[in-house]
Amino acid sequence: MAKRVFTSFAIEDKTLRDFLVGQAKNENSPFEFVDMSVKQPWDSAWKTKCRTKIKGCDGVLVIVTNNTKNADGQLWEIKCAKEEGIPVRGIWGNQDHPATLPSELSGVKVVNWTWSNISNWISSL
């Protein structure tokens, strides 16, 4: 059975998320990605639906860029996953790493975006 992984990203990093989802569409991919991206400000109904989606996943993969610190929805998703006890892993979205990470990423390992780093983590879930 495929692992379900929630993707968390800043809306400005949608293209990076699209690349990641493309990897999961590979015929022999052992996982699928879930996201709750919205184009408008999110509300309490979005939070309720998002929490349900996160709880139904095996892990949360966070695309970390300089946009992360200002992405309220993404920061909430990370906090939610931690509250629900869902494993969280960060991947660097590019080579321009932020000088500091938001407190929501405290204790979260952030690794380079490589197929082996992603698939090894998902396999460990």
Instruction: Write out the chain's pLDDT in tens, 125 residues.
Output: 678 889 999 999 999 998 888 877 776 666 667 665 655 556 778 888 889 999 999 999 999 999 999 999 999 999 999 999 999 999 999 998 888 999 999 999 999 998 889 989 998 99
- Three-class SS of residue 99? coil
Q: Which domain holds residue 56?
A: 3-34+47-124
d(CA 109, CA 44): 29
Among residues 7, 11, 13, 50, the alpha carbon closest in space to that of 32 is found at 7
* Beta bridge partners of residue 35, listed in sequence order: none
Q: Is residue 25 part of a domain?
A: yes
Give residue 69's pLDDT. Answer: 96
Establish if 84 belongs to a structural domain. Answer: yes
Closest CA to 75 of 11, 19, 29: 11
Domain count, the chain: 1
pLDDT of amino acid 30: 62
What integer pLDDT is reported at residue 34 of this predicted model? 67
Residue 78 lies in a domain: yes
**Is residue 39 situated within a structural domain?**
no
- CATH number of residue 55's parent domain: 3.40.50.450
Contact 72, 11 (CB under 8 A): no
